[in-house]
Amino acid sequence: MSQNLDARISESVQKGVEKVLSPMLQGLMGGILMPVIPDALPMLNGWTWKNEAVQARQVLTRGAAPLPLTAPIQGEKGWINSFAIAFSDPFSELMFQCDNWQFITSPFMLNVTGQVLPNSSFVYNSVYNPATPLGPLYGINCAPAQFWPYNTQLQIHARHPAGAVTAASQLVYFTFGRHFIRDEKQFYESIMREGARQTVGRVQVPMR
């Protein structure tokens, strides 16, 4: 029974279940797909975690072109789970673009106004101290209340703007975490399979 069900699900996925559910699969699952939310990922396949970091100090010159902090991420679907950055100057800026949405902020601006992003994500100063053992540190952190989805592209840069008081700054560190779909076919098949299991499966409760 289980092998026959898996075969029917795989066949439907291969025929384009991403665009439109076939009548067979609608009948099997009642026409309802389980929501794909981060809490459901442990039950699914075809995704993975990735963390990127810049740990060596890099010089940011006033008015120079923005420094890319990650390679351009394009044609990928996933979720951002956190990012953090620290500069030696509070006026250096983080430039963040996710699909068609973007923002630019600095430790100084966050210290003055604060900022709330989509998904109830609060961006805050992790450190704002000119006299740490590592020298001046001005940090920006973001830990989304709900993991932040992206659909097409991500670009993250740092720059020391032309209007900054100091001639140069340093990027002290940067870290960025996400989980993303690495195999769409496997991912969507596992959604169908888990949805079908929850719909037509059964749970046996031990009797005492």
| pLDDT digits 0-9 by tens, 143-189 | 777 788 888 889 999 999 999 999 999 999 999 999 999 999 998 88
Residue span of the structural domain in which 190 resides: 2-45+183-200
More confident residue, 170 or 100: 170
Give the pLDDT of residue 25. Answer: 41
- Do 13 and 185 form a contact (C-beta atoms < 8 A)? yes
Residue 127 lies in a domain: yes
For the chain, the distance separating the N- and C-terminal CA atoms, rounded to the nearest angstrom, is 29
Sequence-distant (6+) residues with CB within 8 A of 175 are 51, 52, 53, 54, 82, 83, 84, 85
Instruction: Judge if 170 and 71 occupy the same domain.
Output: yes
Instruction: Report the CATH number that the domain containing residue 77 is assigned in CATH.
Output: 2.60.120
- Do 132 and 139 form a contact (C-beta atoms < 8 A)? no
Instruction: Judge if 190 and 174 occupy the same domain.
Output: no
Instruction: Judge if 11 and 111 occupy the same domain.
Output: no
Residue 64 lies in a domain: yes
Say whether pLDDT at 81 is over 70. yes
Give the pLDDT of residue 142. Answer: 86
Instruction: Judge if 32 and 126 occupy the same domain.
Output: no
Looking at every residue in the chain, the average pLDDT score rounds to: 81
Give the pLDDT of residue 101. Answer: 85
Helix (H) or strand (E) holding 4: helix 2-14
The tally of domains found in the chain comes to: 2
The pLDDT tens digits of the residues spanning 10-28 come to 666 555 544 444 444 444 4
Instruction: Judge if 32 and 105 occupy the same domain.
Output: no
Instruction: Judge if 28 and 101 occupy the same domain.
Output: no
Residue 207 lies in a domain: no
- Do 9 and 195 form a contact (C-beta atoms < 8 A)? no
Residue 205 lies in a domain: no
Give the pLDDT of residue 6. Answer: 63
CB-facing half-sphere around the CA of 123: CA atoms within 13 A: 24
Instruction: Judge if 173 and 130 occupy the same domain.
Output: yes
Instruction: Judge if 128 and 192 occupy the same domain.
Output: no
